[in-house]
């Protein structure tokens, strides 16, 4: 991602924002589309536009690629898909004019454009502009799919206003915003903003919007998508910014529309889509900044996500993955440990207790308190639970494999238990037409402390981009929710305080091999998210021996992460599309 704006420190502008013809309201349609559901997405735009018009909006703006859903990936390689998106977008039925994000067809043997259609208000839909800057980093590979444009987008006489139009990355490069190119009234941006996960509270886009508004001396409107598509999360938080630094930001994780009064920011309103399954339970409000601060990432807008916001993020990711794939029930293993307790709590938040089943699968190595704690979690959550002891299966497998296990690696014998549990979870999920979820976290996945076809089995890994320390923090947020409602806590003190263990061998604990999670998480975060070298990480206060061992385990277990389920991306860099490491490689290449 571009960091052009980060240290600009632009001061409050003395320029006037008043524009006499700005007598109407503009709606930013913060929508949650489904990739590939062209006509469903059109209906969603039409519905939001109608509701916005009823509240007084004179026009509306959608997120990037709303017609196709974002990201459509290799669907864009099918010309028929692109043409159908474009034709459907042109025919949107709306009483107010719209700027709508859609793939745009190009000449034969040329890649399509990532563009904007002007439609509605009885006008025949037509192309307005195409995205100029196509990102090819992290999870993005837009040059694979699109051809870039080389001209600024201008829309003349739209409900009495002239609009400059940018698409996501186009506004991130400060040097590319030339005031003479945009002799218009407001600047609108259609965005699918997930460039840095959701690791901060929309601070980057606030910074971009305020700097763009100050640079161009026009109001800047940024409409973002909300919801989850596969592993990508879009937190909403659409933004309206003015040249003097005034800024209004829509709530996170909520579908609806931000009604913007260009002449009076204090009149801006948020309207939640009533049946949108809002993760905030309708408790949504605007975030406002009056512009008296320097145009930098202020504390109110740019700070690490709180544990409750992380909880909302992974809950939305799991909810939308189930909703958009048509999987209405979740099955998972409940071990009595922190990860499975948090994963079960997230599943209940996402789908409700009646759509979650927990399996207790104790072995000869399971402690009595683990079974008790697992039952307590399920009962506090109100979800179904079933107990399937695996001793009979385990003994049978040991008998069949006795000759191999006698002289084999002890880990091979331990992993049989995890794979038997995976068999049960997958078997029951398949029988019920449900989805199994994996309960592993980023720390353990990063060290290979997980079993292929065992605890890694599942269609989704809701905790897969959360460090172990973040899992504990989220557990606290979950308990606070239940405590505030006067309900039993789903994650009891026994679960919170016990030493992490896979319980695959007598008296087994994670810390017998791994450093404390506070240390492990920071080493992995420095390497994965900050791209620091081994020597730079050592300078952060860690011993070379510990850093080397952590990084070597990370490299040697890459084959496991290639086979992990998708996980909702909440960090600056997650395992998956943005983490592309070789498998058949020399991993101990450091001197």
Q: Known catalytic residues?
A: 64, 131, 168
How far apart CA 310 and CA 574 sit, in angstroms, is 14
387: left (phi over 0), alpha (psi -120 to 50) or beta: beta
DSSP string, 389-447: --HHHHHHHHHHTHHHHHSS-HHHHHHHHHHHHHHHHHHHHHHHT-EEB----HHHHHT
How far apart CA 384 and CA 387 sit, in angstroms, is 10
How far apart CA 203 and CA 200 sit, in angstroms, is 6
| DSSP secondary structure code for residue 122 in this structure | T
Element (H, E) at 48: helix 38-54
| Own/partner pairs, 149-154, CB within 8 angstroms, 24+ separation | 149/113, 149/115, 152/178, 152/181, 152/182, 153/116, 153/128, 153/129, 154/129, 154/182, 154/184
Query: Residues 89, 92, 97, CA angle at the centre, nearest 5°?
Result: 105
- For the beta sheet containing 57-61, the strands, ordered from the edge strand earlier in sequence to the opposite edge, are 123-130, 113-120, 98-104, 57-61, 25-30, 256-261, 269-272
The phi and psi torsions of 373 (rounded to 5 degrees) equal -65, -40
The strand pair at 226-229 and 232-235 is best described as: antiparallel
How far apart CA 133 and CA 575 sit, in angstroms, is 25
Neighbour-count burial of 330, counting CB atoms closer than 10 A to its CB (0-12 exposed, 13-18 middle, 19+ buried): buried
SS3 content of the chain, % helix, strand, coil (to 5): 35, 20, 45
| DSSP secondary structure code for residue 251 in this structure | P
How far apart CA 518 and CA 546 sit, in angstroms, is 13
Cα dihedral 70, 71, 74, 77, rounded to 10, equals: 50
How far apart CA 391 and CA 395 sit, in angstroms, is 6
| DSSP secondary structure code for residue 13 in this structure | P
Q: What are the start-end ranges of the H helices in 461-516?
A: 468-484, 493-497
CB atoms inside a 10 Å sphere around CB 530? 12
Radius of gyration of the chain (CA): 25
Q: How far is CA 212 from CA 250, 459, 546, in A?
A: 18, 41, 45
Please name which of 226, 144, 243, 139 lies closest in space to residue 185, comparing C-alpha atoms: 243
Q: How far is CA 185 from CA 23, 162, 179, in A?
A: 12, 5, 12
DSSP reduced 3-state for 494: helix
CB atoms inside a 10 Å sphere around CB 581? 13
122: left (phi over 0), alpha (psi -120 to 50) or beta: left
């Amino acid at each position: 991602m571009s960091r052009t704006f980060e240290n600009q420190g632009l001061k409050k502008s003395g320029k006037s924002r008043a524009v006499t013809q700005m007598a109407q309201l503009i709606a930013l349609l913060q929508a949650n589309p489904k990739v590939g559901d062209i006509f469903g997405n059109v209906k969603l735009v039409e519905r939001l536009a109608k509701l916005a018009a009823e509240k007084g909006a004179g026009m509306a703006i959608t997120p990037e690629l709303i017609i196709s859903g974002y990201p459509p990936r290799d669907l864009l390689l099918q010309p028929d898909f692109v043409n159908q998106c474009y034709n459907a977008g042109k025919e949107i039925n709306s009483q107010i004019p719209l700027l709508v994000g859609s793939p745009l067809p190009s000449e034969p043997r040329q890649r399509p454009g990532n563009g904007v259609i002007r439609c509605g208000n009885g006008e025949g839909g037509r192309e307005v502009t195409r995205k100029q800057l196509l990102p090819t980093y992290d999870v993005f590979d837009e040059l694979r799919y699109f051809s870039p444009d080389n001209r600024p987008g201008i829309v003349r006489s739209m409900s009495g206003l002239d609009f400059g139009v940018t698409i996501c990355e186009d506004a991130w490069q400060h040097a590319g915003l030339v005031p003479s190119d945009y002799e218009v009234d407001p600047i609108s941006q259609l965005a699918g903003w997930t460039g840095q996960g959701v690791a901060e509270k929309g601070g980057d886009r606030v910074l971009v919007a305020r700097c763009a508004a100050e640079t161009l001396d026009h109001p800047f409107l940024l409409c973002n998508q909300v919801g989850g598509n596969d592993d990508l999360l879009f937190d909403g938080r659409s933004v309206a910014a003015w040249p003097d630094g005034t800024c209004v930001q829509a709530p996170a994780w909520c579908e609806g529309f931000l009604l913007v009064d260009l002449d009076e920011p204090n009149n801006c309103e948020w309207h939640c889509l009533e049946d949108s399954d809002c993760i905030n339970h309708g408790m949504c409000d605007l975030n406002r900044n009056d512009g008296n601060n320097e145009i930098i990432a202020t504390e109110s807008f740019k700070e690490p996500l709180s544990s409750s916001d992380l909880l909302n993020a992974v809950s939305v990711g799991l909810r939308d993955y189930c909703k958009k794939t048509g999987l209405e029930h979740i099955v998972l293993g409940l071990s009595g440990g922190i990860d499975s307790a948090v994963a079960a709590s997230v599943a209940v938040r996402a789908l409700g207790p009646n759509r979650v089943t927990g399996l207790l699968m104790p072995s000869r190595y399971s402690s009595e308190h683990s079974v008790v704690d697992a039952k307590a979690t399920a009962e506090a959550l109100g979800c179904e639970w079933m107990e399937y002891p695996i001793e009979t299966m385990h003994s049978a497998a040991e008998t069949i494999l006795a000759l191999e296990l006698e002289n084999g690696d002890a880990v091979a014998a331990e992993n049989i238990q995890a794979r038997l549990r995976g068999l049960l979870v997958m078997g029951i999920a398949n029988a019920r037409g449900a989805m199994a979820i994996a309960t592993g976290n980023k720390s353990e996945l990063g060290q290979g402390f997980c079993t292929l076809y065992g605890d890694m089995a599942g269609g989704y890994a809701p905790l897969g981009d959360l460090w172990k320390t973040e899992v504990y923090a989220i557990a606290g947020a979950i308990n606070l929710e239940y405590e505030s409602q006067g309900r039993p806590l789903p994650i009891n003190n026994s679960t919170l305080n016990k030493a992490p263990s896979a319980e695959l061998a007598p008296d087994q604990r994670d810390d017998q091999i791994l450093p404390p999670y506070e240390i492990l998480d920071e080493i992995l975060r420095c390497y994965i998210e900050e791209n620091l070298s081994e020597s730079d990480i050592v300078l952060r206060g860690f011993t070379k021996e510990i850093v080397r061992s952590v990084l070597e385990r990370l490299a040697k277990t890459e084959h496991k992460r290639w086979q992990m389920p998708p996980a909702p991306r909440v960090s600056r860099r997650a395992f998956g599309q943005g983490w592309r490491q070789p498998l058949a490689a020399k991993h101990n290449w450091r001197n």
